[in-house]
Amino acid sequence: MKTQVYFEEIVVGEEIPHRVVETLTTRSIVKWAAAVKDFYEIHYDKDFARAVGMRDVIAHGPNKCALLSRLLLEWMGEGGTLHKISCTHKASNFPGDKLTCKGKIKDKYSKDGRHYVECEVWVENQDGIVAAPGKALISLPAKKS
């Protein structure tokens, strides 16, 4: 079982010490297309993608947000709750790209008996280009006294 992260352990300004790394493949992109029923040709037809100016098929933007969700869920432990997550899609990603999901603690506070942590999260490729910056709100358990 994974170690639980507690509210008292969180330090504003620190990076989330967990990483999610995924190397995109054409197969993983097509599997995502099937899962979300998005069959726009730019995600599976290389000739079509090139005809509209891309070098290859492109990954789905929401897949990057799902990877960011995975980052937070794996890091915070079973006692945490992911309340909100959002991201914007700033750069296309292609088969062979190595995506790394990272995060940083922006704020923490207690309200109505819950212990909230605001996070900045992002997906970057192997060249350090941020493809999907975002933010999230989670709550964590407090240590029992």
Query: Which CATH number is 79's domain given?
Result: 3.10.129.10
**Model pTM above 0.75:** yes
Residue range of the domain that includes 122: 7-23+60-139
Rounded Cα–Cα distance for residues 130 and 98 (Å): 12
Q: Which two tokens stand for residue 97?
A: 């790209």
Per-residue pLDDT of the chain (145 residues; tens, 9 = 90+): 468 999 999 999 999 988 889 999 999 999 999 999 999 999 999 999 999 999 999 999 999 999 999 999 999 999 999 999 999 999 999 999 999 999 999 999 999 999 999 999 999 999 999 999 999 999 999 997 5
The reported pLDDT for the residue numbered 1 is 44
Rounded Cα–Cα distance for residues 103 and 10 (Å): 13
Q: How many domains does the chain have?
A: 1
Residue 41 located in a structural domain: no
The reported pLDDT for the residue numbered 3 is 86
Residue 88 located in a structural domain: yes
Residue 131 located in a structural domain: yes
Question: Phi/psi at 35 (nearest 5 deg)?
Answer: -65, -40
**Is the separation of the CB atoms in 25 and 95 below 8 Å?**
yes
